[in-house]
Structure 1
Amino acid sequence: MPFDHNDHYHRLLLRHLPRNCGTALDVGCGTGRFARRLAGLGVEVDAIDPSAQVIAQARALSERSGAHRPPDFRQADAIAVELPPGHYDFISCLASLHHMPFDTVTRLRNALAPGGVLVVLGCYREQGLSDGLWSLAAAPTNALIRLAVAATETARPTASPRRPRTKAPVKQPTILLPEIRHRAAALLPGSRIRRLLFWRYLLVFHNET
Protein backbone atom coordinates (compact mmCIF):
# COMPACT_ATOMS: atom_id res chain seq x y z
CA MET A 1 0.00 0.00 0.00
CA PRO A 2 1.24 3.56 -0.80
CA PHE A 3 1.96 4.68 2.76
CA ASP A 4 5.46 4.46 4.18
CA HIS A 5 5.96 4.85 7.92
CA ASN A 6 9.48 6.17 7.49
CA ASP A 7 8.45 8.77 4.90
CA HIS A 8 5.70 9.88 7.27
CA TYR A 9 8.31 11.08 9.76
CA HIS A 10 10.59 12.96 7.34
CA ARG A 11 9.39 16.38 8.42
CA LEU A 12 9.85 15.47 12.07
CA LEU A 13 13.46 14.50 11.40
CA LEU A 14 14.14 17.67 9.41
CA ARG A 15 13.13 19.77 12.41
CA HIS A 16 16.42 18.67 13.99
CA LEU A 17 18.57 19.77 11.05
CA PRO A 18 21.17 22.20 12.42
CA ARG A 19 21.07 25.77 11.23
CA ASN A 20 23.50 26.34 8.34
CA CYS A 21 23.93 22.59 7.90
CA GLY A 22 26.50 21.96 5.19
CA THR A 23 27.19 18.21 5.26
CA ALA A 24 25.04 15.19 6.03
CA LEU A 25 25.27 11.42 6.05
CA ASP A 26 22.21 9.22 5.54
CA VAL A 27 22.87 5.70 6.84
CA GLY A 28 20.88 2.84 5.33
CA CYS A 29 19.51 5.25 2.73
CA GLY A 30 17.50 2.70 0.73
CA THR A 31 16.26 4.20 -2.53
CA GLY A 32 17.25 7.64 -1.25
CA ARG A 33 14.06 9.60 -0.69
CA PHE A 34 15.20 11.23 2.56
CA ALA A 35 18.71 11.83 1.19
CA ARG A 36 17.19 13.65 -1.77
CA ARG A 37 15.09 15.79 0.57
CA LEU A 38 18.26 16.80 2.41
CA ALA A 39 20.06 17.56 -0.85
CA GLY A 40 17.08 19.65 -1.97
CA LEU A 41 17.74 21.91 1.03
CA GLY A 42 21.21 22.65 -0.26
CA VAL A 43 23.03 20.14 1.96
CA GLU A 44 25.97 18.12 0.63
CA VAL A 45 24.79 14.55 1.28
CA ASP A 46 26.63 11.24 1.45
CA ALA A 47 24.18 8.33 1.42
CA ILE A 48 25.21 4.73 2.07
CA ASP A 49 23.45 1.38 1.99
CA PRO A 50 24.85 -2.17 1.89
CA SER A 51 22.48 -3.22 -0.93
CA ALA A 52 23.84 -2.73 -4.44
CA GLN A 53 20.33 -2.98 -5.90
CA VAL A 54 18.80 -0.19 -3.86
CA ILE A 55 21.83 2.05 -4.43
CA ALA A 56 21.45 1.53 -8.18
CA GLN A 57 17.79 2.52 -7.95
CA ALA A 58 18.61 5.53 -5.74
CA ARG A 59 21.03 6.79 -8.38
CA ALA A 60 18.51 6.21 -11.16
CA LEU A 61 15.79 8.08 -9.28
CA SER A 62 18.14 11.00 -8.66
CA GLU A 63 19.03 11.16 -12.35
CA ARG A 64 15.35 11.27 -13.29
CA SER A 65 14.67 14.02 -10.76
CA GLY A 66 17.27 16.26 -12.40
CA ALA A 67 18.54 17.48 -9.03
CA HIS A 68 21.19 20.20 -9.23
CA ARG A 69 23.37 18.54 -6.59
CA PRO A 70 22.13 15.00 -5.91
CA PRO A 71 23.34 12.91 -2.98
CA ASP A 72 26.49 10.87 -3.39
CA PHE A 73 25.07 7.35 -3.19
CA ARG A 74 27.56 4.61 -2.28
CA GLN A 75 27.24 0.93 -1.55
CA ALA A 76 28.78 0.64 1.91
CA ASP A 77 28.12 -0.90 5.29
CA ALA A 78 28.08 1.53 8.21
CA ILE A 79 29.73 -1.15 10.36
CA ALA A 80 32.88 -1.19 8.26
CA VAL A 81 33.03 1.92 6.06
CA GLU A 82 35.63 4.54 6.97
CA LEU A 83 33.83 7.66 8.14
CA PRO A 84 35.71 10.96 8.34
CA PRO A 85 35.96 11.99 12.00
CA GLY A 86 34.24 15.19 13.04
CA HIS A 87 32.93 15.83 9.54
CA TYR A 88 29.13 15.73 9.31
CA ASP A 89 26.75 18.38 10.62
CA PHE A 90 23.83 15.94 10.44
CA ILE A 91 23.61 12.15 10.41
CA SER A 92 20.34 10.32 9.85
CA CYS A 93 19.54 6.66 10.24
CA LEU A 94 16.01 5.67 9.20
CA ALA A 95 14.75 2.22 10.19
CA SER A 96 18.19 0.71 9.64
CA LEU A 97 19.98 0.68 13.01
CA HIS A 98 18.30 -2.61 13.97
CA HIS A 99 20.12 -4.21 11.00
CA MET A 100 23.46 -3.62 12.74
CA PRO A 101 24.92 -3.74 16.25
CA PHE A 102 23.51 -0.90 18.33
CA ASP A 103 27.00 0.27 19.29
CA THR A 104 27.45 1.36 15.67
CA VAL A 105 26.09 4.65 17.00
CA THR A 106 29.56 5.32 18.45
CA ARG A 107 31.00 5.33 14.91
CA LEU A 108 28.28 7.76 13.85
CA ARG A 109 28.85 9.92 16.92
CA ASN A 110 32.56 10.17 16.13
CA ALA A 111 31.75 11.30 12.58
CA LEU A 112 29.72 14.27 13.85
CA ALA A 113 31.18 17.75 13.64
CA PRO A 114 31.06 19.91 16.79
CA GLY A 115 27.44 20.97 17.16
CA GLY A 116 26.33 18.20 14.82
CA VAL A 117 23.14 16.19 15.29
CA LEU A 118 22.47 12.47 14.99
CA VAL A 119 18.86 11.41 14.47
CA VAL A 120 17.74 7.78 14.51
CA LEU A 121 14.26 6.76 13.42
CA GLY A 122 14.42 3.31 14.93
CA CYS A 123 12.42 0.11 15.31
CA TYR A 124 12.11 -1.89 18.52
CA ARG A 125 10.81 -5.30 19.55
CA GLU A 126 7.42 -5.18 21.19
CA GLN A 127 6.84 -6.87 24.52
CA GLY A 128 4.41 -6.30 27.34
CA LEU A 129 1.28 -4.27 27.95
CA SER A 130 2.69 -0.83 27.18
CA ASP A 131 3.95 -1.85 23.73
CA GLY A 132 0.70 -3.67 23.07
CA LEU A 133 -1.37 -0.58 23.84
CA TRP A 134 0.73 1.58 21.51
CA SER A 135 0.36 -1.02 18.78
CA LEU A 136 -3.37 -1.18 19.38
CA ALA A 137 -3.59 2.60 18.97
CA ALA A 138 -1.45 2.61 15.83
CA ALA A 139 -3.21 -0.18 13.94
CA PRO A 140 -6.54 1.54 13.12
CA THR A 141 -4.84 4.86 12.32
CA ASN A 142 -2.42 3.05 10.05
CA ALA A 143 -5.27 1.28 8.25
CA LEU A 144 -7.26 4.49 7.75
CA ILE A 145 -4.29 6.38 6.33
CA ARG A 146 -3.45 3.54 3.98
CA LEU A 147 -7.03 3.45 2.70
CA ALA A 148 -7.11 7.23 2.25
CA VAL A 149 -3.83 7.32 0.36
CA ALA A 150 -4.85 4.36 -1.80
CA ALA A 151 -8.16 6.03 -2.65
CA THR A 152 -6.37 9.24 -3.63
CA GLU A 153 -3.98 7.33 -5.87
CA THR A 154 -6.82 5.43 -7.54
CA ALA A 155 -8.82 8.63 -8.15
CA ARG A 156 -6.07 10.25 -10.20
CA PRO A 157 -7.15 9.79 -13.83
CA THR A 158 -3.79 10.72 -15.30
CA ALA A 159 -1.67 8.77 -12.86
CA SER A 160 1.17 7.00 -14.58
CA PRO A 161 1.79 3.30 -13.89
CA ARG A 162 3.91 2.72 -10.84
CA ARG A 163 7.45 1.67 -11.52
CA PRO A 164 8.51 -1.49 -9.70
CA ARG A 165 10.63 -0.52 -6.71
CA THR A 166 13.46 -2.47 -5.22
CA LYS A 167 13.00 -3.02 -1.51
CA ALA A 168 15.82 -3.27 0.97
CA PRO A 169 16.06 -6.48 3.01
CA VAL A 170 13.72 -6.49 6.00
CA LYS A 171 14.86 -7.61 9.43
CA GLN A 172 12.74 -7.76 12.57
CA PRO A 173 14.12 -5.74 15.50
CA THR A 174 15.39 -7.75 18.44
CA ILE A 175 16.01 -5.08 21.11
CA LEU A 176 13.32 -3.83 23.47
CA LEU A 177 12.79 -0.09 23.88
CA PRO A 178 13.97 0.01 27.54
CA GLU A 179 17.25 -1.61 26.49
CA ILE A 180 17.63 0.90 23.66
CA ARG A 181 17.20 3.71 26.18
CA HIS A 182 19.80 2.10 28.48
CA ARG A 183 22.37 1.63 25.71
CA ALA A 184 21.82 5.10 24.31
CA ALA A 185 22.36 6.66 27.73
CA ALA A 186 25.76 4.95 27.92
CA LEU A 187 26.92 5.48 24.34
CA LEU A 188 25.27 8.82 23.56
CA PRO A 189 25.17 10.76 26.84
CA GLY A 190 22.52 13.45 26.75
CA SER A 191 20.57 11.85 23.92
CA ARG A 192 16.77 11.92 23.98
CA ILE A 193 14.44 9.11 22.96
CA ARG A 194 10.69 9.24 22.51
CA ARG A 195 8.28 6.63 21.28
CA LEU A 196 6.39 7.39 18.05
CA LEU A 197 3.03 6.06 16.95
CA PHE A 198 3.84 3.82 13.99
CA TRP A 199 6.10 1.25 15.69
CA ARG A 200 9.05 3.62 15.75
CA TYR A 201 11.13 5.64 18.19
CA LEU A 202 13.07 8.85 17.65
CA LEU A 203 16.56 9.23 19.09
CA VAL A 204 18.21 12.66 18.93
CA PHE A 205 21.82 13.31 19.97
CA HIS A 206 23.57 16.69 19.88
CA ASN A 207 27.36 16.61 19.75
CA GLU A 208 28.30 19.33 22.20
CA THR A 209 32.07 18.77 21.94
Structure 2
Amino acid sequence: MPSPEELPNPYWNHNVHYHRLVLDAVPDGCTRALDIGCGDGLLVRKLARRIPEVTGVDRSPAMIRLAREAGARTPNAAFVEADFMTAADGVLPGPYDFLSAVAVLHHLDFTAAVRRMADLLAPGGRLVVIGLANNGTPLDWLISGTGLPGSWILARRHGGKSGPSGLPMQDPDMTWSEIRRAAQGMLPGSRVRRHLLWRYVWVWDKPGS
Protein backbone atom coordinates (compact mmCIF):
# COMPACT_ATOMS: atom_id res chain seq x y z
CA MET A 1 0.00 0.00 0.00
CA PRO A 2 1.52 3.40 -0.95
CA SER A 3 2.38 5.79 1.85
CA PRO A 4 0.07 8.78 2.56
CA GLU A 5 2.76 11.18 1.38
CA GLU A 6 2.41 9.79 -2.15
CA LEU A 7 -1.17 11.10 -2.40
CA PRO A 8 -0.78 14.53 -4.06
CA ASN A 9 -2.56 17.54 -2.63
CA PRO A 10 -4.98 19.03 -5.17
CA TYR A 11 -4.67 22.35 -3.33
CA TRP A 12 -2.86 23.93 -0.40
CA ASN A 13 -3.94 25.89 2.64
CA HIS A 14 -2.89 26.19 6.26
CA ASN A 15 -4.91 23.16 7.29
CA VAL A 16 -3.61 20.93 4.51
CA HIS A 17 -0.09 22.00 5.42
CA TYR A 18 -0.49 20.27 8.79
CA HIS A 19 -2.08 17.07 7.52
CA ARG A 20 1.37 15.50 7.73
CA LEU A 21 1.36 15.94 11.50
CA VAL A 22 -1.97 14.10 11.73
CA LEU A 23 -0.64 11.27 9.58
CA ASP A 24 2.57 11.03 11.59
CA ALA A 25 0.51 10.68 14.78
CA VAL A 26 -1.41 7.58 13.63
CA PRO A 27 -0.44 4.85 16.13
CA ASP A 28 0.73 1.41 15.11
CA GLY A 29 -2.07 -1.14 14.94
CA CYS A 30 -4.78 1.45 14.30
CA THR A 31 -7.71 -0.17 12.47
CA ARG A 32 -10.61 2.33 12.70
CA ALA A 33 -10.49 6.10 12.42
CA LEU A 34 -12.91 9.02 12.37
CA ASP A 35 -12.20 12.44 10.86
CA ILE A 36 -14.56 15.05 12.27
CA GLY A 37 -15.57 17.90 9.98
CA CYS A 38 -14.02 16.09 7.03
CA GLY A 39 -14.97 18.67 4.38
CA ASP A 40 -14.15 17.32 0.92
CA GLY A 41 -12.49 14.23 2.43
CA LEU A 42 -8.85 14.91 1.50
CA LEU A 43 -7.51 13.93 4.92
CA VAL A 44 -9.78 10.87 5.04
CA ARG A 45 -8.32 9.65 1.75
CA LYS A 46 -4.81 10.10 3.12
CA LEU A 47 -5.64 8.29 6.36
CA ALA A 48 -7.20 5.45 4.37
CA ARG A 49 -3.78 4.67 2.93
CA ARG A 50 -2.58 3.46 6.31
CA ILE A 51 -5.76 2.63 8.27
CA PRO A 52 -8.10 -0.19 7.15
CA GLU A 53 -11.37 1.63 7.95
CA VAL A 54 -11.78 5.41 7.93
CA THR A 55 -14.97 7.44 8.27
CA GLY A 56 -15.36 11.13 7.58
CA VAL A 57 -18.28 13.02 9.08
CA ASP A 58 -19.51 16.48 8.14
CA ARG A 59 -22.84 18.22 8.55
CA SER A 60 -22.59 19.95 5.16
CA PRO A 61 -24.40 18.08 2.35
CA ALA A 62 -22.26 19.89 -0.24
CA MET A 63 -19.00 18.82 1.40
CA ILE A 64 -20.12 15.21 1.79
CA ARG A 65 -21.12 15.12 -1.85
CA LEU A 66 -17.63 16.31 -2.84
CA ALA A 67 -16.04 13.82 -0.46
CA ARG A 68 -17.98 10.89 -1.87
CA GLU A 69 -17.14 11.86 -5.43
CA ALA A 70 -13.43 12.25 -4.70
CA GLY A 71 -13.34 9.09 -2.58
CA ALA A 72 -15.19 6.83 -5.00
CA ARG A 73 -12.01 4.82 -5.61
CA THR A 74 -11.11 4.53 -1.94
CA PRO A 75 -13.18 1.53 -0.78
CA ASN A 76 -12.07 1.69 2.86
CA ALA A 77 -13.25 5.31 3.23
CA ALA A 78 -16.86 6.15 4.12
CA PHE A 79 -18.51 9.55 4.42
CA VAL A 80 -21.43 10.38 6.69
CA GLU A 81 -23.58 13.49 6.54
CA ALA A 82 -24.31 14.22 10.20
CA ASP A 83 -23.57 16.49 13.12
CA PHE A 84 -21.10 14.45 15.13
CA MET A 85 -22.28 16.15 18.33
CA THR A 86 -25.79 14.69 18.05
CA ALA A 87 -25.41 11.68 15.73
CA ALA A 88 -26.82 8.45 17.10
CA ASP A 89 -24.52 5.54 17.89
CA GLY A 90 -25.67 3.72 14.79
CA VAL A 91 -24.62 6.65 12.61
CA LEU A 92 -21.11 6.84 14.07
CA PRO A 93 -20.55 3.33 15.44
CA GLY A 94 -17.55 3.95 17.65
CA PRO A 95 -15.36 3.47 19.42
CA TYR A 96 -12.51 4.49 17.14
CA ASP A 97 -8.79 3.92 17.52
CA PHE A 98 -7.99 7.34 16.08
CA LEU A 99 -9.89 10.63 15.90
CA SER A 100 -8.83 13.72 14.00
CA ALA A 101 -10.41 17.16 13.85
CA VAL A 102 -8.83 19.85 11.69
CA ALA A 103 -10.00 23.47 12.08
CA VAL A 104 -13.27 22.27 13.60
CA LEU A 105 -13.17 22.77 17.35
CA HIS A 106 -13.49 26.58 17.31
CA HIS A 107 -16.85 26.19 15.55
CA LEU A 108 -18.25 24.17 18.47
CA ASP A 109 -18.86 24.40 22.18
CA PHE A 110 -15.37 23.50 23.37
CA THR A 111 -16.28 21.52 26.48
CA ALA A 112 -19.13 19.56 24.92
CA ALA A 113 -17.14 18.77 21.77
CA VAL A 114 -14.09 17.54 23.66
CA ARG A 115 -16.24 15.29 25.83
CA ARG A 116 -17.92 13.88 22.74
CA MET A 117 -14.55 13.19 21.09
CA ALA A 118 -13.29 11.44 24.19
CA ASP A 119 -16.44 9.31 24.34
CA LEU A 120 -16.04 8.21 20.70
CA LEU A 121 -12.42 7.20 21.25
CA ALA A 122 -11.57 3.64 22.22
CA PRO A 123 -9.46 2.98 25.34
CA GLY A 124 -5.85 3.35 24.27
CA GLY A 125 -6.89 5.38 21.21
CA ARG A 126 -5.47 8.70 20.10
CA LEU A 127 -7.05 12.10 19.47
CA VAL A 128 -5.34 14.67 17.23
CA VAL A 129 -6.75 18.18 16.93
CA ILE A 130 -5.40 20.83 14.57
CA GLY A 131 -6.96 24.01 15.85
CA LEU A 132 -7.03 27.78 15.78
CA ALA A 133 -6.76 30.18 18.71
CA ASN A 134 -6.98 33.91 19.32
CA ASN A 135 -4.13 36.22 20.24
CA GLY A 136 -4.34 37.23 23.89
CA THR A 137 -0.97 38.85 24.61
CA PRO A 138 1.60 41.01 22.79
CA LEU A 139 3.79 37.92 22.50
CA ASP A 140 0.93 36.09 20.79
CA TRP A 141 0.68 38.88 18.23
CA LEU A 142 4.43 38.83 17.67
CA ILE A 143 4.50 35.08 17.09
CA SER A 144 1.52 35.28 14.78
CA GLY A 145 3.23 37.97 12.74
CA THR A 146 6.23 35.74 12.10
CA GLY A 147 3.99 33.35 10.17
CA LEU A 148 3.17 35.87 7.43
CA PRO A 149 6.35 35.48 5.30
CA GLY A 150 6.22 31.68 5.49
CA SER A 151 2.55 31.60 4.57
CA TRP A 152 3.13 33.84 1.55
CA ILE A 153 6.07 31.78 0.31
CA LEU A 154 4.24 28.47 0.73
CA ALA A 155 1.10 29.75 -1.00
CA ARG A 156 3.19 30.94 -3.97
CA ARG A 157 5.02 27.63 -4.10
CA HIS A 158 1.76 25.70 -4.25
CA GLY A 159 0.15 27.89 -6.88
CA GLY A 160 -2.32 29.67 -4.63
CA LYS A 161 -4.96 26.91 -4.81
CA SER A 162 -6.76 27.19 -1.48
CA GLY A 163 -9.36 24.42 -1.61
CA PRO A 164 -13.12 24.07 -2.06
CA SER A 165 -15.40 27.04 -1.53
CA GLY A 166 -18.33 26.99 0.83
CA LEU A 167 -16.44 26.01 3.98
CA PRO A 168 -17.69 27.81 7.11
CA MET A 169 -15.52 30.62 8.44
CA GLN A 170 -15.41 31.66 12.08
CA ASP A 171 -12.84 33.38 14.27
CA PRO A 172 -11.73 31.47 17.38
CA ASP A 173 -12.77 32.76 20.80
CA MET A 174 -10.22 31.04 23.02
CA THR A 175 -6.62 32.23 23.29
CA TRP A 176 -3.55 30.03 22.95
CA SER A 177 -3.04 29.82 26.70
CA GLU A 178 -6.74 29.13 27.31
CA ILE A 179 -6.65 26.24 24.85
CA ARG A 180 -3.61 24.73 26.53
CA ARG A 181 -5.08 25.01 30.02
CA ALA A 182 -8.46 23.65 28.96
CA ALA A 183 -6.93 20.73 27.07
CA GLN A 184 -4.73 19.68 29.96
CA GLY A 185 -7.55 20.21 32.45
CA MET A 186 -10.14 18.17 30.57
CA LEU A 187 -7.84 15.47 29.19
CA PRO A 188 -4.82 15.03 31.46
CA GLY A 189 -1.73 14.05 29.56
CA SER A 190 -2.63 16.25 26.58
CA ARG A 191 0.26 17.61 24.56
CA VAL A 192 -0.42 20.98 22.93
CA ARG A 193 2.11 22.67 20.67
CA ARG A 194 1.72 25.93 18.80
CA HIS A 195 2.87 26.03 15.17
CA LEU A 196 3.87 28.84 12.86
CA LEU A 197 0.90 29.04 10.51
CA TRP A 198 -1.66 30.03 13.16
CA ARG A 199 -2.45 26.50 14.24
CA TYR A 200 -1.88 24.36 17.32
CA VAL A 201 -1.57 20.59 17.40
CA TRP A 202 -3.16 18.81 20.34
CA VAL A 203 -2.48 15.11 20.87
CA TRP A 204 -4.08 13.00 23.60
CA ASP A 205 -3.85 9.29 24.23
CA LYS A 206 -6.87 7.90 26.03
CA PRO A 207 -5.92 5.65 28.94
CA GLY A 208 -6.39 1.96 28.26
CA SER A 209 -9.09 -0.06 29.97
Q: CA deviation at 1:207?
A: 0.8
Q: TM-score, normalised by structure 1?
A: 0.86
Partner of 2:117 in structure 1?
Answer: 108
Partner of 2:166 in structure 1?
Answer: 167
Instruction: Say what the alpha-carbon RMSD is for the aligned residues.
Output: 1.9
Q: Deviations over 1:21-52 (max 9, x none)?
A: 10001001010100111112243011111111
SS at match of 2:152: helix
1:185-196 equivalences in 2 (<5 Å): 185-196=184-195
Partner of 2:31 in structure 1?
Answer: 22
Q: How many residues align?
A: 194
- Residue ranges of structure 1 left out of the alignment (5+ in a row): 154-163
Partner of 1:76 in structure 2?
Answer: 82
Contact 2:33 2:97 in 1 (8 A): yes
1:14-53 equivalences in 2 (<5 Å): 14-53=23-62
2:106 paired residue among 98, 101, 114:
98
Work out the CA distance in 1 between the residues paired with 2:196 and 2:57.
Answer: 27
Amino acid corresponding to residue 187 of structure 1 in structure 2: M
| Runs of 4+ more than 2 Å apart | 82-86, 164-167
Work out the CA distance in 1 between the residues paired with 2:149 and 2:29.
Answer: 39
- Residue ranges of structure 2 left out of the alignment (5+ in a row): 1-10
Q: Does 1:58 align with 2:67?
A: yes
Q: Does 1:130 align with 2:139?
A: yes
Amino acid corresponding to residue 116 of structure 2 in structure 1: R
2:96 paired residue among 88, 91, 95:
88
Contact 1:196 1:202 in 2 (8 A): yes
Q: Deviations over 1:59-83 (max 9, x none)?
A: 11112xx22x242111111221135
Contact 1:53 1:166 in 2 (8 A): no
Quick check: which has more Rg, 1 or 2? 1
2:159 paired residue among 134, 138, 150:
150
Contact 1:86 1:114 in 2 (8 A): no
Partner of 1:208 in structure 2?
Answer: 207
Q: CA deviation at 1:127?
A: 2.6
> Quick one: percent identity of the two aligned structures?
38
Work out the CA distance in 1 between the residues paired with 2:166 and 2:130.
Answer: 18
Partner of 2:12 in structure 1?
Answer: 3
Work out the CA distance in 1 between the residues paired with 2:142 and 2:152.
Answer: 16
Work out the CA distance in 2 between the residues paired with 1:28 and 1:145.
Answer: 24
> Which range moved further: 164-173 or 103-112?
164-173
